[in-house]
């Protein structure tokens, strides 16, 4: 059983030295449990938070313990009638070949309905994040302008596509011309802006001639600075992630801009609400019905970036925080 454990906690950017590949015994199955073999491992930005001991909404990974992560796994031994040998499940198997479970949190996957890896992307946690955050907090109305960054990733790409289905104008922000072209040519975004290009504030303003009604916040940093002056009265801002700052070791240089922000909140009557996807777990059936239906009808689509081999997970994860992935980042483990 190969497993990748957290070797030490990074200060700033993680490097391969913060991870360690180990061999351990395949765990044995106790009464009521199943043995799972990891087929695909999901890599997600939140894992940077788990590497840190700072207080957050979830406990950190302990030093020497396998990194946590969502997986598509195959049941290879079973003492649980709900999960027979051979079935595919979405699980929290972590960065390792094998894991055990008593069934808690496992979901059966029907490979006849959609490719199993969609359970880690558009039909899994990232898709649910886009659906619930946009529709419950963002509430786009026809004709409004919705802006989202990290727009070529699994969360942002679905936010833009759902915004379009609801009759809104979707503007995506992404790093580089290839991702921007993908947004407009393949996903149907109305406009795309390259945050690595020249003069982001001016390009974004040009892409949003009627201002911004919903800003789905995935990144923070200079992208947020460019968005803020464009927000319309009564704009909504679901705060989903702040990936631009996940490796930050200190606050950005001054002056303190929080009074400006609070004045905007007041005068423009902004609604800013942070959320964690599991706040909306009561919407999972509606999510699977709606997004599953749109996927089947070809009204939404997705892109995956599949990396071969568990040993390559650390490098791929480090790249995720810098935009080296193009689509939902997945490791093919076995």
Q: Which spans of this chain sit near ligand NDP (rule: CB under 6 A)?
A: 44-46, 125-126, 129, 149-150, 152-156, 174-175, 179, 195, 218-219, 221, 223, 240-241, 243-244, 275-277, 320-321, 323, 325, 329
The token pair at 110 is 């029907």
Is the Cα torsion angle 62, 66, 70, 76 positive or negative in sign? negative
At residue 217, φ and ψ (nearest 5 deg) are -85, 110
CB-based contacts of 191-196 (< 8 A; 24+ apart in sequence)? 192/151, 195/149, 195/222, 195/223
CB of 233 to ligand NDP, least distance (A): 26
Looking at the Cβ atoms of 10 and 35, the one nearer to ligand NDP is: 10
Looking at the Cβ atoms of 125 and 134, the one nearer to ligand NDP is: 125
Looking at the Cβ atoms of 75 and 125, the one nearer to ligand NDP is: 125
CB of 149 to ligand NDP, least distance (A): 5
Using omega within 30 degrees of 0 as the cis cutoff, is the peptide bond preceding 103 cis?
A: no
Report how far residue 76's alpha carbon sits from residue 89's, in angstroms, rounded to the nearest whole number: 11
Largest separation between any pair of C-alpha atoms in the chain: 62
The token pair at 229 is 């002056």
CB of 247 to ligand NDP, least distance (A): 9
Tell me the three state secondary structure of residue 291.
helix
The helix (run of H) or strand (run of E) holding residue 108 is strand 107-109
Is residue 272 within 8 A of residue 137, CB to CB? The reply is no
Residue carrying structure tokens 């069934």: 103
CB of 177 to ligand NDP, least distance (A): 11
DSSP letter at 190 equals S
CB of 136 to ligand NDP, least distance (A): 12
CB of 293 to ligand NDP, least distance (A): 21
Looking at the Cβ atoms of 14 and 29, the one nearer to ligand NDP is: 14
- The residues, any chain, with a CB within 8 Å of residue 47's CB and separated by 6 or more, are 67, 68, 69, 317
CB of 48 to ligand NDP, least distance (A): 8
Looking at the Cβ atoms of 206 and 276, the one nearer to ligand NDP is: 276
Looking at the Cβ atoms of 76 and 275, the one nearer to ligand NDP is: 275
Looking at the Cβ atoms of 34 and 244, the one nearer to ligand NDP is: 244
């Amino acid at each position: 059983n190969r497993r990748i454990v957290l070797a030490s906690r990074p200060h700033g950017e993680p490097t391969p030295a913060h991870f360690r590949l180990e061999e351990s015994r395949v765990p044995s199955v106790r009464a009521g449990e199943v043995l799972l073999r990891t087929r695909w491992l999901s890599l997600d930005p939140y894992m940077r938070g788990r590497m840190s001991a700072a207080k957050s909404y979830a406990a950190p990974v302990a030093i020497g313990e396998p990194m946590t992560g969502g997986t598509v796994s195959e049941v290879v031994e079973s003492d649980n009638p709900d999960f027979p040998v051979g079935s595919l499940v979405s699980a929290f198997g972590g960065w390792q070949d094998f894991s055990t479970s008593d069934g808690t949190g496992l979901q059966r996957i029907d490979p006849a309905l959609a490719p199993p890896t969609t359970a880690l992307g558009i039909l899994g946690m990232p898709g649910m994040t886009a659906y619930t955050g946009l529709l419950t907090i963002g509430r786009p109305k026809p004709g409004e302008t919705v802006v989202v960054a990290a727009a070529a990733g699994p969360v942002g790409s679905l936010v833009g596509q759902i915004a379009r289905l609801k009759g809104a104008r979707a503007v995506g922000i992404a790093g580089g011309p290839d991702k921007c072209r993908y947004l407009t040519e393949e996903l149907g975004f109305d406009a795309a802006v390259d945050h690595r290009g020249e003069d982001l504030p001016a390009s974004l303003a040009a892409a949003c001639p009627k201002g911004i009604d919903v800003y789905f916040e995935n990144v923070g940093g200079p992208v947020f600075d460019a968005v803020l002056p464009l927000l319309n009265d009564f704009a909504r801002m679901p705060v989903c992630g702040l990936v631009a700052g996940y490796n930050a070791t200190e606050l950005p240089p001054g002056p303190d801009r929080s009074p400006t922000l609070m004045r905007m909140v007041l005068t423009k009557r902004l609604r800013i609400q942070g959320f964690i996807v599991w706040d909306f777990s009561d919407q999972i059936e509606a999510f699977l019905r709606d997004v599953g239906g749109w996927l089947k009808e070809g009204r939404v689509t997705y892109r995956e970036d599949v990396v071969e081999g568990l040993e390559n997970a650390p490098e791929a994860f480090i790249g995720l925080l810098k935009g080296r992935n193009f689509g939902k980042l997945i490791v093919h483990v076995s």
